[in-house]
Structure 1
Amino acid sequence: MAIEVDTKDCTALSDAELAEMADLCAAGPRPYEAGLLSKLVEDWVLVTLARDNGRIKGFSFCTLERIGGTPSVLIGLASIKRTAKRDTVLRQMMTDQLRRAVLAFPDEDVLVGTRLANASGFEAFRALTDIVPRPDYVATGEERAWGKRLAKRFGVPSGAYDERAFKVKGGEIPALVFDHDSAKPESIPADVVALFDDIDEDEGDALVGFGWALADDLVKLL
């Protein structure tokens, strides 16, 4: 059966859906609880749910907004169940959010940003360009400024963010990140894995990452 993806207002989440989302997290390495998920309903505008045979296999809290006039898709806490279909779930969730982005911001490039705990999270950026941070690349001043804007939007205290390393020093355990583990971790380039050498997941560290969805690519999703 095909993966079914739906994005809706957070306020439309039912108690049963929140409980199922918490159960999904409990089976993974970051056991986000129902109470935390209920709080995120207040903090975020939209939630994307991916179902297989009626059961939730992935979700992400997100919002479409302009930051300083720039169209943006911001992804808060997200979690994908560790099944054989996890990569499909990830791809279809991201496609649905990008499709909504082009409807909200036609003919514009869109920034997509989130927090990552490990290199697997970069798989969410497969359709993006000019990803920051990335191996063997020194971010520009404007890109570092974007990192600071995103960290602030995610509620990271200013003293907990390293703008040159794009690193969030742990404060929330587990950190509110894009929780995904690749089905083929051995295929992730070593230099991408190395970006997380100083990220201590056990201490709640994370990396602020972002990239651009180009208007010419977004229009193909319509």
Structure 2
Amino acid sequence: MHGGGWVYGDKDVYQFYCMSLAQRGFAVVNYSYRLAPEYKFPASLEDTCTVGAWMLANAETYGFDMEHVYGVGDSAGGHMLTIFVAALTNPDYAAELGIKLPTGFRFNAVALNCGAYKIELSAQDMTTGLMGDFLPGKDLDAELKLINPVEWITEDFPPAFVMTSTNDFLKGQPAVLVPVLMDNDIPFMYRYYSDKENPLGHVFHCNIRLSAAKLCNDEECDFFRKY
């Protein structure tokens, strides 16, 4: 699931990164989702549910192995993927979100790259900037609770590869997510990538020319193959 601060980005930006995953032996589904501010939350989540249903319906046509499904989300996409997975594995969360989940869809494991997992803003702060664009603004306190997936993770959440990097402006976020994974006995791998000669920035792994990106992507795919 691509990043872009909830307000920009599309599948075209991710085509070469996704090709590199396909070269590692995975069937890759790369999609665009509706963006804020034109489309408020949960539009992007609804689109993700639609993609999941499409995968189930077209698995035979495209050769998808639905017994081995892995999700990758970067930055805002990491945030949205965490929400989606938490909803798939927590019926109470799904009910609160009020979305139609794809019946029978499940992930074996996920990779959460430079993501946001807990947004700690007051309702007043959320009226400006990205969150003001992203959320409907009808009941900001309730909406804030809904977009913080760490509050809804249960022991049924799948194994997770969680990564950040030296110059990732969200590098503090795994400190919120990892303890929740540990408390729920969820298998995980946490990686902090650092390169003194070439400091690694936010979602560096998408620049597939970097040796550090190759290392990260190889490690994520190796993690997937365990599940």
TM-score (norm 1): 0.33
Structure number having the greater helix percentage: 2
Q: Say which structure is richer in strand.
A: 1
Q: Which has the higher contact order (CA 8 A, sep 6+)?
A: 1
